[in-house]
Structure 1
Amino acid sequence: MSSETSNLQGEHVARVVWAAHILAYLTKGRSHAQVEKVEDDVASDTDSEIETEVAVDDEMDTATAKAVPLSASRESVLRKFLDCICQLLSPSKGWEGVTAASMRESSGRFSVEVARNDGFGSDCGSFDPATLEYCRMLEEYLTSCVSTEETNTPANSMAEFEAASINYTASRVDYWISACQRTYANSHIDTDWHPQAWPGRESAAQTWTSMADLLVCSNSKRMAADIRTLSVQRAFGCVSSPEVHHLLLDALGPKVGSRLWVALKFVARPLTDCQRLREITLWESDLRHAQISLVPSAPKTTLRMEHVIDIVTAWERLGLGIATEPVIELLDPYRELFKQACAESLSLHAEMQLICYHEECRGRRRMLQYFGCSKKSCLLCETFLAAMHDPIETRGRHGVCYPAWGVPCLNSDAIYLVTTELGNDLVNRIRGLFNRIIRPGATANVMQSDFVSDFSKITLEEWRQRQKIVDIARAEQTTKWTKLQLIEGKGQDLHTRARPRPKFEPDNCCVMCNKTPARRCGRCRSTHYCSKDCQKSDFSSHKLLCKKLATLPDRPSPEHKRAIFFPVHETEPILIWIPTERQYEEDSRVWWTDALVRSYLGPDSPSIGRLYVEHNDVRGRNLGSGKFGSALRNEGYCVTLLHRDGYLKDGSPPNKSILASVRASGAPRPPYAYNGPMVAMREVHPEDYADIQLSDFRHLMDYLITYASTGVRESVPDLQYRAPTVVRGVKICCDGEIKLHASEPFVSIDVRRSTRIHLSSIQGNCNSPISALLGIPLIFWKDPDAEFHVNPPGWDATQWASSNQNVAFMMMRTNPSDTSWGWAPLYWNYDIGNVWVVREDGQDLDVREVAMMCHFARFKLQRMFEDTLESEESTLQERKRVLKYITRENMRAFWEETGGDEADRSHDDLSD
C-alpha cells in the first residue's frame, strides 16, 4: 500500500473522530433529538436517572415479566433471544459492560458470537476464566430447557444458572435495588400496605409488601449475596403480576408508581431473561444447542500525529467553512480537551468489534441482519450499521454521541465507504446544530436524515429523467418476477433449458415443516413428524385415516394399489384397494397403467377427470415433475385426484367427506367446489401407480384449501411452518372492520405467492409513493372481499364503512410538478375497504413499520401537503422541501413525539 493511500485512510478515520468530539461538545452529552427540546428542570435526580436508563436500556417492551415475546415473527423471536443473551452477559451499568451479539447458522447448529466493550478482559491475551465458566453454564442451561413446567419453579428450587446470573450481574442489580429504595422512600409514608386495606387485591398487596420489607431493611451499598438473590426473586414475583402493577399505580400515583415499576423490572431482569430464554428455546428447539463464543477485543483506534490538531483547524478540515469569530468563541472552551482526546487511543464499541470480527474471520454468513445489544446503540454505532450495504438493525438507539468511539480500521472498501458516509453524516449534524445555536430564532437548514439528499441541486428535467429510469427499472423487475413465477411452476407454458433442477425433500422428512430427521407415526407408519408440535398440528386431519390404515385388510393382489376414497354422502374418507391393469399403446408403443376407478365414481361409467398435485405451496415442497407436457424431466410423483369429468354440470351433489377433511385441516370450506365421488391415488412416472401414503393426504388437503383461493390469513407465531412462497404482509383495516369487528388498525397476515400473482393480474401493483420515499417501497391491494363496500345495517358513523384514511394518505402523489400533487388517485380515495400490503422486495413486512408510515403520512405529511396546496404562490421549491422532509429519521421522531403506539391503538385523530 502506498503512503498516499495510507494517509487517505487515516484522514477519513480522523474525520470521524474530529466530528464525533465536536458534536459531543455541542450536544453536551444529550441525544441529538433532545437538543431541540426544552429540558424538564422539575424532575428529581432519581426520576432523571430512571428515565435516562430506560431511554438507553429499552426495557419497556412488556407490561409484566409473564408477557410472552413469541407473538411476533420467528425473526423477532431470534432477535429477543440475542438481546437476552447480551443482557445476561452484561455485568455492570458502566461502559465496560455493554454487550452485543450476532447469530450464525451452519448445518442446523446455531453459533452466537458475543462482544463486550471491555473485550471480556481479552486485552491481557486470554478471556477471564470466570466468564468462560459462566458461558458454559449458560449453554448447559439452554440445553436443559425441555419442559414448560419449569417456568413456574419455586424460588427455593431455582436453576443453578439463574442463581449464577444474579451474582454475575450483581453490580447492576445493586444499582437498581438502590434506585427502588430511593423512589419508594419518598412516596410510601402515608400508604397502608396491609392486605386487608386492599379488598380483592390481598394477594397483590402481600406480594408487594414482601418486596417492600426487603427494600426498607437491606443495605444496597453492602448487599449480601443471599439478600440480593431474595430481592431479585421477589422483584420477579412482583413484575410477573399485573395486579401488583395496578396496585402501585393506584397507591403511589401514576408517575411514582410507573417509575418504581420500571426499577423493579430492572432488578428482576436476570430472572426475566432466563424465563424468556426458556420460552424461546421451547419454541425454537434448535437454539437449545446454541454455542456461545466470545469475541476478543479489536485493536484500538489511534490517530497519527499529523491528525492530532487544534479544534478550529479540525472544523475547517471537516469542510464546515472558515472559523469565524462566533465559531472560535463556541469552540474555544474545548481547545485543550479536544487535542488531548484526539491523542488518546479509542476503544471500539461492542457492535464495531463484531463488525471487525466478521470482516476478518469470513465464514458462515450472519443468520440475521441484526445485532442483539444489552442497551440501545449510540448515535455513531446506529448510523454506521445503517449505512452498510446490508444494513444491520439493533434494538434501537438512544441518540447520544459518545466521543470516545473507536473507528473500525480495516483494509476493506466497504468499511471505507461506510466510514466516509458516517463522517459526512456527522458533519451535516454539526452544521445544522451550529445554525440553531448561533441563530436560535431562525429557521435553520437542518439535515433531516442520516444521509444528505441532493434533490435541491438537480433541475426538474433531471428529476423527471431519474423518475423515468426508476419506472423502467421497476417494469423490468416486474417482468422478470412474473417470468420467475412461471418458471417455478405457476404456469405451464414457459419452461426454458436453463430451468434449475427441482429440489425434492426425502420421503422421511417431516410432513409439516420438511425438517429431518423425522419419525414415523407410531400407529399408521405412513407419515413422518419431526416433533410433538408438528404431530399435534396435523392430528385433527391425520386421525381421519390413521386408525383405518392400521386396520386396512391385506392387499388383494399385487396389481391393487392403496387409494383414498371420498364418498359423496359420508363425513369421512376411507381407504380402499384400487385394481390396476397394464395397457400397451400401439400407436406410441409404450406401456401404461390404467386405474379401474369408474365403479367408485358412479354407476354410469362417467368420463374421468384428473387433478394433479405436484407441489405443496403451503409447505414449500416439491413432490414431482413431469405430469405437464412442458416439463423437462419426469421425476418424483404426484397425488392424482380422479373425479367425474363433468361434476360441475352433471348435477353431482357436494362431496361431504372432502368438506369434512378440509374442515379438519383448519379451513371452514374449500374455495372451489368439489362435487361427486372422488378417488386420490399416488401416481409415479412414467404412467404407473404406487400405494398412497397418509403424507399425501396432507399434501392433497393443503392443495384443496389453497386452490383458486385469493384469501389471506392472519399471521401466527412460528410454531407452524411457513413456506418460502409465503411472505408476511399487513392488512390495513378500514373503519368498518375496526368498529364492527373490534379489529386492530394494522394486522399481520400471511400472503401466498399465488395470491400475490393473482392480485397483480387483477388489480396491478399499486405502489405507495410515500413508502418509496421512506425507503421501503410497498405494494397495496384492495381486499377482494366486499363486506364493507356497502354500509352494513345500523352503521351510523360519519365516514363510510369502507373509509380507510391510513391508506388514502399513503397513496398521495409526490411528483412536485404534477397538478395532482398531494392528492390520492380516485381509486385510492373512495370505496377502499380493507387493504393488503406487502414489500416490493418480497421480504417480510413488520406491522409496526406500516403503522409508523401511516401515522406519519396521515397526521404530519397530509398537513404539509395541504399547506403547499393552500398557498396561492406554491413553488416547486416548497414542494421539494416537503419531499426532503420525508425521511425515516423524521418519521421515527414524529412517532415518538406524538406517542405513536397509543395513537395507533386508539385510532383517533391528532391535533397540533
Structure 2
Amino acid sequence: MDSSRPKASDELVHVVWASHILSYMNPYTIIASDRPSNLQSKQEVNDDDGSDFDDGPNHDFSSIDNEPLTDNSEVLRQKFLDCICELLAHTKGGKTVTATALREKEDEVEVDIARNNGFNAKDEAYLGSLKRFLAMQDDNVSRQALAEYSHKFLRDTIAYTSERVDSQAEAVAKLLKRSPYRPSRHSGSGGYTQDACLLGCCSAAQEPAFTKTQNLLEEFLNFDFYRSMFSTARDRDETRCKIVELAAGIAHSQQAIQATQGALDSMIPSVDPHKAIQKWRILARPVTCLRILSQIARLLPNFQVVTFISMSPPAPLKLQTSQIPTIQEAWKRLGLPSGPNGDIPPNLARKDGRFRRECGYSLFTHCEIQLLTRHEAEPSLAPTLAYFGCSKKACFLCESFLALSPLKVRTRGRHGECHPQWAVQPCNSESAKRRLKSLCKTIKQKIRARLEPRHNPPPVAIHQSSAVSELKSSDMRELTRQSRNRELANREGQGLRERRQILSVGPPEIWYRDLRTLCVMCQTPCARRCTRCLATWYCSQRCQSLDWPAHKLLCSRYRKFLDTCPSKDYGLGIWFQRDTCRPKLIWAPILCLSQGFHHADFDHFLGHNNGVRFTIPFAENKRRGLELDHYLTIWYCDRDEIPNKSILAAVEACHGMTVPYNFRGHYVVMRGQHGSCTGTADHEFPDITLADFRHTLDWFSTGSVFAVKISCPLEQSIYGRELFTAVDVDPDFPSTSEVSPLSVALGLPIMVCQLEQDDLDQTGKTPQEASVEEQTRMNPYARVLMTDIDMESENWGKAPQFWDIDGTILLQREDREDLDLACARHLCRYCLDVLKPLFERAVSGEISRQNVLEQITPKKAIAWKPVDSSTGVVDIDKPRPRRGFVARMGSARWEYLKQGSRVLEVTDKIFREMGWLDC
C-alpha cells in the first residue's frame, strides 16, 4: 500500500517531524514584543475577542496610515482580494480558508482563487453571481436595476455565509447573555442617521443608530427562540438578514460607532461597548465586503470585468510507514541538541505514540501554497500585485515558505501558529527541496529557543481571522474626484493626440527650445511637471500613468534627497545595484584632474577590483526618436557575471518594455559627458533628473530590431492579417532559421525564421478540408526565398527537399539590423513574380541557367517595378508618414538645415535671374 502512494521527499518529511515536535512544545511562534507592529494590519479587527481592539476614534476607519489613497494605490487592490476571500470563506475552520491573487489588465482583471478543500457547484454558482454584481457597477446600468440586483445578491450572500453568520451571532448572544438590559424610552433623535442604503446603491431613510442598537439588542435577547425548534427556516433566514443589516448600519461609520457606544452604555452598562461593537462588525462582514467591492469597481472600471479562476487543490499527501520513526529517532536525525545520555526532554518522550500516530495523518497543501506553486510553475500567470488576499492570516509554515520564494509575495498578516499537517506539492523539485531545507532550519531554531526559556521570551497566541475595514470617507471623496479628473484628462489627451497624431503618425519633425516643455513619454509640447518630484514632465494623466510603474521607484525620494548634497563637488546620479530590485539615488564626488578634465569617482558603487571601467555616453532616445539637449553617461565594469536585478525590475515595470539581454554587474548613470574639458558646454556634471531616468530606461530597453512577418493565406483569411507586416523583435530571436541564398545574391542577406503555427482546430475535418488547409498554410514566399542557386547542385532552381518551414514566417536581416518593410516586400515580390517563373522555365529546359542568373543581381532587383495584376498600373509603395526626429533649436541639426535652406534660396534667386525657372 505504501509503495502505491506518492512518496514525500526527505526534506518535507523532516519538516513534518520538526513541526510536530514544535507544536508539542508550543505551537505559537510569535513573541509578545512582535504583536503591535508586525502582526496585524491597522486596517483590520480580529474575528475573536476584543483584546486587540484599538480604542482610538479613527483607528478602524483608516484606509492607510501616512498617505491618501489614489487610483494606483495597492491598498484598494488588497482590499478587493481580501473581501473576495472573506465572502468565499463561508464557514469557520480551516477547510474553507481561501486565498486570491490578481492579474490586472487594462480592460479587465483575472483573480486566481484557491481554497484548502476546493470548490463545489454551490461555490461556482456564487462566483457567477459575484461576477455579475461587479459588472452591474457600470455607469451604463440603471440605478433601479442596480439596486434591485444588489439587494437580492446581499440576501443571497447572507444565506451563502449563514453558517459563519450563525456562529458569530451565537458569540454575540453569549457575550450579552444575563446582562441587565435597560430599554430606552426615548427615540434617540440625536443619533446619526444614514440617508443611503447599506450598499450605497440607492437612497433609503435609515433609522438613527440609537434605535438600531436597541432593535439589535432585542434580537439577541430573543436569540434562544431564533435557534429553537419552533422557528421555521424562513423565520431564521429573515432574522439572520435583519441581524446582519442592523449590525452593518451600526458599524458603518465613525459617527454611528460613537452613537452606538452611548446607547450601549445606557442600555447594557455591564458589557464592554468596544467588544460588542467589534463583534457586530464581524457580524456585518457580508455587507461590508459587498460595499467595498462595489466602491472599488466603480472607481476602477476594469474591476467590473472579472474572470474568476478557481483552482483544484492537490490530493492530500501521507508519509509512508518507513518515513515515520519514533520521536527519539526523529529528534536525533534532525540534529537537535540531546542530553548527556542522548535523552530528549521527558515531556516529549512521553508523546512518542501520539507523534507516530499524527505523523501518519494526511498532509494538506494550504491555499497560499497552491497559488505560489501555480505562479512559479507558470511564470506567465504571475500576479501583477505581489500580494495574496486571504480569509485568515498566514500560518507559521506558510509565512516562512512564502518568504523564501523569489516572488516575494505579501499577505494580510500572520498568526504564527504551526500547523503540522502541512505540505508542498510538488515537493521533489530542486527548488522545493532547497526551500524545505531552509524551512526545516527555521523550525529547529524555534525548537532550540523553547529549550532555553530563560533567554527567550515566551510566544503568545494570535487571532487568526480579521475583518476588512471600511474605505475612509475622505479617501472615497478624493478617489471619486481623481476618477472624474482622470476621465476628463483622458478625453482631453485623446483629442490632442488625434489632432496632432503624436503617438501614431506624428508630424514630420518637432523643434523645441527647452526639453522640459515636452512630455517625457510622447514629446507633446506644453507639458506640466510631476507635482511630487518636480523633475519630469507629462502632457496628460495617461502619459503619467504609463510612466508611473517605473517613475514611482524614485519619485517620493527625489526632492528630499536633493537637500542631502554633501557639497558642490558632488553630482547626483542613479545607481542600478545588481543585488536589489530598486535603483538608488547617489551623490558621486566629481574630481578635476590637472589637465582640466572632469570625472566622477564610483569606487564606492562599482567596486575597486571589478576590472576595467567602461563609459557609454548618449544624447539620443532612439525609442522615442528624441534628440536630447545634454549627454547622459553610463558607467559599468567588466568581469562581473552577476545579472543586474534593478535594471531588469525597473525596465520590465514599464508596460511593453523588456531588456534585450542581461546587464551584468553594477551600473551608474550621470548627467554630463565623461572626460569633458573645462570650458566646454559639457564640462560639468549637473544633477540628474527623473526625466533622465526615463531616457536611461529607454536606452536599456532599446535592443530590439525591426523584422517583417509574412502571413500565410490561412492566417490572412481567418484573422484578416496583412500579407507583409513590420514587427519588433529581439536581435537574437529564438527560431529555426536559414539564410536565403537568393537574398545573399541580391545584396541583402535575410534569414527566414519559423514561427509557431496557430492553434487551429484540426478535429472533425474531412480529408478534403485538411488538404485545402494544408495548401493554404503553404507560404510561396518562404519557398522561393530558399531556392537553391548552386550551379553544381542537383536541386538547382527548387526549394530544398528537406524544407519544412511553412505557414507564417519572419524575415530578419542576418546582420541583426533593422529590416525595412518596403525593401523586404520589394525583394520578396521580385523573387516570386520575376525569378520563380524563370527558374521553372530553366528547369523545363526552355531557357538556360545562365539567363536566370543574369537576373539575380541587386541592380536588376532595384530597377524592377511591381505591376498590379488587376489594374496593370505600376504599384509604388507609399511609406506611411512618420515623425522624423525631435530636436532642439540651435542644435547641429538645426544649423545644418538652416545653412542648406540658405543655399537653396540663393540658387533659386540665380536661376530666376537667368530665366531658367520660367521654362
| TM-score (norm. length: structure 2) | 0.48
| TM-score (norm. length: structure 1) | 0.49
Larger Rg over CA atoms: 2
Larger relative contact order, structure 1 or 2 (CA cutoff 8 Å, min sep 6): 2
